[in-house]
Amino acid sequence: MPDLTLAEVAALGDLLTQLSPNLALALAEQINRDLTLDSPTIEPVPIQDLLFRADNVAQTTFNLSAPFSAESVFLVSEEVGHLFVDLIEGNAGIDPPVTLLDVQMEKLAAAMNGLARGLAVALTNLTGDMVELEASTTTIGPIALPPVFALDGVAIQARLPLNIPGLIDTELTFLFTPDLARTLATGSSTEIGIDPSDSHGGILGEDELAAMLSGMSGAAGAGTVPSAPAASGDAFGGPMPSQPGSSPFAPFPSAGQEAMPRGLDLILDIPLDVTVELGRVRMLIKDVLELASGSIVELDRVAGEPVDLLVNGRLIAKGEVVVIEDNFGIRITEIISPADRVAGLGKGR
């Protein structure tokens, strides 16, 4: 499987199998009907195969907080989306609406948002680290993948059999980038002490098992293993905006890998000014006075270079500008250690 080892595929399958009862409960609460989700089938699918599908789907594009922040997709068929709406409205699901009104689309979007939030809660419970749903958008139509998927050329598809007793047997499909799939696999494997890079599927020898047990107490609470850099690839026919998870820059260590300074919890509620700096330039006063509408100011930053993230004027990270719905954001691509960040807060650059 491109970009994923067999052990990583197995770890991802185990993760989704563990999460499926939580996901089923989250979805059941949204549509007011009991249902089951079974163990997934995982396979790589070329992006072009997904984009050339002729059927319409009810698709939710979402992203969670770090380290799972790359945009992902889950979807069901359009017919199942209409069935969900009928159940949400308190009907039996026997005669779903043929088309959805705006108010019904809002109900479907709310339900799918609840499912995505259920995934975040399930990951929080499994890993012990807070995972939050940052954004989700639901549409009905042909599959429309976020640009981040173009970087690899393939998506990792996980199909979970979905059964609503007495109504339908169908599938809930997740689409992850290979990079995020690996992050999910390594994160879940770390929880149970398996190395996903192990070519023999995570089976430990006696010496390895003894070493793992002797170091288990020190490993408790370790941070999530950072994802590997995404492979480069062709975009969808031209320039495209950056999206969370699509960074061309080198990966950075997880903040959870380094111990925070003692006593830091005493100051965690202190507000700070956070600034994103695109670039700087020095100008003469006369040049500033000559600025007018339409003037162009050239900055000391090369196009495509990461922008700076400043806290109280102190450089703590670099990142790339992304667009989340109608707002600008920044995807962190490089960061210094927590101890150095705390020591530098309030100081100059």
Q: 84 with 175, same domain?
A: yes
> Does residue 20 lie in a domain region?
yes
pLDDT per residue as tens digits for the range 300-339: 888 778 888 888 777 888 888 888 888 888 888 888 676 6
Minimum mean pLDDT range among 77-91, 243-257, 279-293, 330-344: 243-257
Q: What is the pLDDT at residue 259? A: 53
162 and 14 within one domain: yes
Please choose, from the candidates 138, 30, 164, 37, the residue with its C-alpha nearest in 3D space to the C-alpha of residue 89.
30
Average pLDDT over residues 221-234: 38
Residues of the domain holding 328: 258-349
- For residue 129, give the nearest of 27, 266, 224 by alpha carbon: 224
Which of 169, 184, 199 marks a domain boundary? 184
Give 92-97's long-range contacts (Cβ < 8 A, gap of 24+): 93/33, 93/164, 93/167, 93/168
Task: Say yes or no: 169 and 275 in one domain.
Answer: no
What lies within 8 Å, CB to CB, of 108 at 6+ separation is: 58, 81, 84, 85, 88, 100, 138, 140
How far out from the chain centre does Cα 333 lie? Answer: 14
* pLDDT surpasses 50 at 193: no
> Which of 184, 215, 240 is at the close of a domain?
184
Tallying the residues shown for the chain, one arrives at 349
Choose the weakest-confidence range: 89-93, 235-239, 255-259: 235-239
- Percent of the chain scored above 70 by pLDDT? 72
- Do residues 180 and 262 both lie within one domain? no
Q: Structurally, how many domains does the chain consist of?
A: 2
Q: Do 12 and 132 share a structural domain?
A: yes
Domain with residue 349: its CATH number is: 2.30.330.10
30 lies in the same domain as 170: yes
For residues 197 and 167, give the distance between their C-alpha atoms in angstroms, rounded to a whole number: 42
Quick check: 204 pLDDT over 50? Answer: no
Same domain, 106 and 24: yes
- What is the model's pLDDT at position 266? 58
Q: Which residue has the higher pLDDT, 342 or 242?
A: 342
Output the pLDDT for position 44: 92
Any idea which of 137-141, 224-228, 265-269, 306-310 has the lowest mean pLDDT?
A: 224-228
Please state the φ and ψ torsions of residue 290, each to the nearest 5 degrees: -85, -5
Supply the pLDDT for residue 161: 95
Q: pLDDT tens-digit profile of 49-67? A: 988 888 999 999 999 988 8
Query: Would you say residue 158 has pLDDT above 80?
Result: yes
- Across 122-131, 152-161, 220-229, 266-275, least confident range: 220-229
Does residue 302 fall inside a structural domain? yes
Q: Specify the pLDDT at position 147.
A: 85
- On the question of pLDDT at 165 being above 90, the answer is yes
3-state secondary structure the chain: CCCCCHHHHHHHHHHHHHHHHHHHHHHHHHHCCCCEECCCEEEEEEHHHHHCCCCCEEEEEEEECCCCCCCEEEEEEHHHHHHHHHHHCCCCCCCCCCCCCHHHHHHHHHHHHHHHHHHHHHHHHHHCCCCCEEEEEEEEECCCCCHHHHHCCEEEEEEEEEEECCCEEEEEEEEECHHHHHHHHHHHHHHCCCCCCCCCCCCCCHHHHHHHHHCHHHHCCCCCCCCCCCCCCCCCCCCCCCCCCCCCCCCCCCHHHCCCCCCHHHHCCCCCCEEEECCCCCCCHHHHHCCCCCCCCCCCCCCCCCEEEEECCEEEEEEEEEEECCEEEEEEEEECCHHHHHHHCCCCC
Residue where a domain stops, chosen among 119, 149, 184: 184
* CATH number, position 87: 3.40.1550.10
Q: Is the pLDDT of residue 180 over 60?
A: yes
Answer for the pair 74, 50: CB distance below 8 angstroms, yes or no: no
The proportion of the chain whose per-residue pLDDT surpasses 90, expressed as a percent, equals 32
Q: Is residue 195 part of a domain?
A: no
**Are the C-beta atoms of 337 and 314 separated by less than 8 Å?**
no
Same domain assignment for residues 167 and 290: no
Residue 212 lies in a domain: no
Looking at residue 327, its pLDDT comes to 87
Q: Is the residue at 190 inside a domain?
A: no
- The answer to whether residue 92 sits within a structural domain is yes
**101-139 residue pLDDT tens:** 999 999 999 999 999 999 998 888 888 888 899 989 999
65 inside domain? yes
Asked if residue 26 has pLDDT above 60, the reply is yes
**295 and 156 in one domain?**
no
Residues 54 and 163 in one domain: yes
Single out the residue of 29, 131, 26, 17 nearest to residue 72, CA to CA. 131
Residues 263 and 175 in one domain: no
Residue 6 reports pLDDT greater than 50: yes
Do 305 and 165 share a structural domain? no
